[in-house]
Amino acid sequence: MKKISFILLFLLLLSYAHAYAEDTTYTDEKYNFSITYPSDYRVFENYKGAAITVFFPKQGFFSFFNGYVNVIAKSTRPTTRPTEELIDIYFKYDKTVLKKEQVKINDIDFLSVVQTKRMFFFNLKVYILITVKGTKIYTLTYINTANNYDKHIDKAKQIMHSFRFV
């Protein structure tokens, strides 16, 4: 009985620590931006072309796809074309776009895109925010399986909407 009580107490403390984990702010000095995420999430810097990738906690032991938010920042040559026109060119032939709209977050104009993708045997749903500042383009992406997308979209938006230029 003591062993069961100890295990239950441990699980309670673990869930309390997870629920009240502090946020961590990542600042990228090369591309001049910051983003805030829960400190108990797994984070990789410079992972597969992204400045930062924040992985959500696994959905279970047999979970094969782990949802994540990433920020890709790239330098580009100067252009006089508006951001929306550049994005329209990019998505012109993409039939998987479900929704596309202009949004303002922290006084930054973004193009918001929701689309579906297929990767290997996973059906994915993707929320993308794109903005251009000077000669840099910033793409913030939340990717998850179609089944888990809605479970984490609020947390993903909280992380993505913490994006700021520094």
Identify the domain containing residue 153 by its residue range. Answer: 22-165
pLDDT tens readout for residues 119-141: 888 889 999 999 988 888 899 99
Q: Which two tokens stand for residue 59?
A: 């959905």
Q: Does residue 102 sit within a domain?
A: yes
pLDDT tens readout for residues 98-120: 888 889 999 999 989 999 988 88
In this prediction, residues 11-21 reach a mean pLDDT of 52
Model confidence band, residue 159 (pLDDT cutoffs 50, 70, 90): very high
CATH of the domain at 143: 3.40.1000.10
| Maximum Cα–Cα distance across the chain | 71
**Number of domains forming the structure of the chain:** 1
In this prediction, residues 37-63 reach a mean pLDDT of 84
Q: Does residue 39 sit within a domain?
A: yes
Q: Does residue 1 sit within a domain?
A: no
